[in-house]
Structure 1
Amino acid sequence: MIVLSCNVRGLGKGEKKCVVRSLVEFYKPTIVFLQETKLSNYDDRVIKAIGGSALNRGIGVDAEGALGGLLSLWNEDQFKVSDCISNSRCLILIGELLSMKAVAAFCNVYVASVEGEGRKLWDFLINSMNSFSISWCIGGQPK
């Protein structure tokens, strides 16, 4: 299983989507975490432009103005999402890794350089981890 995580610093331009899609095609990940997308709309066109046919599901957290934005993409033939928890800095996917028959959580995080935001994120993550007795994978930019 491969998890790819990248701070894209904006996905508004088609060239960036192409670069990310090239990485997806090359590495063939099960899950992709993208941070700082600076997008507020994650429709099927965005998911298809980045994930192609390999990553057929996705969910995002809207950017706040020109800051932030998270997008998580996954291959539903390999990972079946049963729950999603999110806030402005964190996107947690909980589901079953089908080949391993194991439940796990995959967490995409991004915290801008704002005083105190990192501590709030870690408090949220620790509380979330304590709520689920499963394996966790955290990717992104937790300060």
Structure 2
Amino acid sequence: MEKAAGRKKWKIEGLSLGKASANVGLPAEELLEIAGEGCPPLPRKDLLQLASACGIDPSALTTAAPPWNVRGLGRPAKCTDIKAALAAASPSIICLQETKLTDISIFKAYSFLPPACRSFLFVPSDGASGGILTAWNDSDWDCILLARSSSFISYSFSSTFSSLSFCVTNVYGPCEHSEKQGFLDGLAALEPSVPGPWAILGDFNLTMRPSDRSNANFNHAEVASFAGWSNSLHLQEIPLLGRAFTWSSQQTAPTLVRLDRAFVNIDWSGLFPNSTLSFLPHSTTTFSSVVLFANLFIMFGTTLGPAISPAASPASSIVA
């Protein structure tokens, strides 16, 4: 029996663990992905029994309890949607924000990351708030972690095919007003460690101008701080094409806000002078992704947040 058919038969007909394992040869990551798709998810003791029956060392599964029921990326249906959207875009670097996951095992990551991007690092959420993940294709990029905090992850990427290198900082800004200036100061402190082209992208939880909101609830002090940060680093904001807002309160009369942005430094602008920012089509209303197009092919988007993808083509995009 083919693996896919066996999995479907097991889930739909409720086959016993023994029969399922006899019919379906599963690698560990697929086993855990399937285990989390049930409603309710497969109990852990049954998961370990199934692992043993499939020839997988159960000790390899005991170090982490996948947070299947957490909001954000905790729901299997959303993970499936996001994985499909990212796979269709074929990214080689992915930046996600607001994962709402306090822990991400390799098996959980495989439930929402496309097969090519299986190297990743994450910042855990604070309960059901926040959470950041950056993933990449290690066949395309050598990656060095530059800095990590509760609000951002910063990397240096070097192409495995050429001399191309650049830095990307994936951000999810704090919601509390009292924490926003510290967040911006932390980003500014990264500049000395950035060796060349630099993109800072994601959900900043800040607005830049009155037109970023659909109502008059506008914080002029925050805007001044945000603009001062951008100016002090000599950053250029990449214009967003095709849409004015990136977040909705999803109410009958919704509040609409532009929270997702991409900034680049002078070196990036010199290397990729025609960079643009636009929305990536996706299949779920909860996954709002934008794509930064440069000369190589990078992407960045949101959940949640951004994703980056350099391909072998001469264009580049980042999803956030």
Give how far 1:17 is off.
0.7
- In the alignment, the residues of structure 2 paired with residue 141 and residue 114 of structure 1 have an alpha-carbon distance, to the nearest angstrom, of 14
Give how far 1:60 is off.
0.6
Q: Partner residue of 2:191?
A: 129
Give how far 1:140 is off.
0.9
Q: Partner residue of 1:34?
A: 96
TM-score by length of 2: 0.40
Q: Partner residue of 2:147?
A: 85
CA spacing shift, 1:117–1:98, aligned 2, 3 Å: farther
TM-score by length of 1: 0.85
Q: Partner residue of 1:25?
A: 87
Q: How does 1:1-143 map to 2 (within 5 A)?
A: 10-142=72-204, 143=206
For structure 1, the residue ranges without an aligned partner over 5 or more in a row are 1-8
- In the alignment, the residues of structure 2 paired with residue 126 and residue 61 of structure 1 have an alpha-carbon distance, to the nearest angstrom, of 19
- In the alignment, the residues of structure 1 paired with residue 154 and residue 134 of structure 2 have an alpha-carbon distance, to the nearest angstrom, of 9
For structure 2, the residue ranges without an aligned partner over 5 or more in a row are 1-70, 207-320
RMSD: 1.6
- In the alignment, the residues of structure 1 paired with residue 87 and residue 102 of structure 2 have an alpha-carbon distance, to the nearest angstrom, of 25
Give the secondary-structure state (helix, strand or coil) at the position aligned to 1:67.
coil
Q: Which structure's relative contact order is higher, taking Cα pairs within 8 Å and 6+ residues apart? A: 1
- In the alignment, the residues of structure 1 paired with residue 142 and residue 112 of structure 2 have an alpha-carbon distance, to the nearest angstrom, of 19
CA spacing shift, 1:123–1:100, aligned 2, 3 Å: farther
- In the alignment, the residues of structure 2 paired with residue 13 and residue 141 of structure 1 have an alpha-carbon distance, to the nearest angstrom, of 21
% same residue? 24
- In the alignment, the residues of structure 1 paired with residue 188 and residue 85 of structure 2 have an alpha-carbon distance, to the nearest angstrom, of 31
Instruction: Note if contact 2:146-2:193 (Cα within 8 Å) is conserved in structure 1.
Output: no
Instruction: Note if contact 1:108-1:139 (Cα within 8 Å) is conserved in structure 2.
Output: yes
Give the secondary-structure state (helix, strand or coil) at the position aligned to 2:177.
coil
- In the alignment, the residues of structure 1 paired with residue 117 and residue 104 of structure 2 have an alpha-carbon distance, to the nearest angstrom, of 14
Partner amino acid for 2:159?
A: L
Aligned length: 135
Q: Partner residue of 1:6?
A: none
Structure holding more helix per residue? 2
Instruction: Note if contact 1:92-1:107 (Cα within 8 Å) is conserved in structure 2.
Output: yes
Give how far 1:84 is off.
4.1
- In the alignment, the residues of structure 2 paired with residue 20 and residue 130 of structure 1 have an alpha-carbon distance, to the nearest angstrom, of 34
Give how far 1:96 is off.
0.8
Which consecutive segments of 4 or more residues in structure 1 shift more than 4 A?
A: none
Partner amino acid for 1:52?
A: P
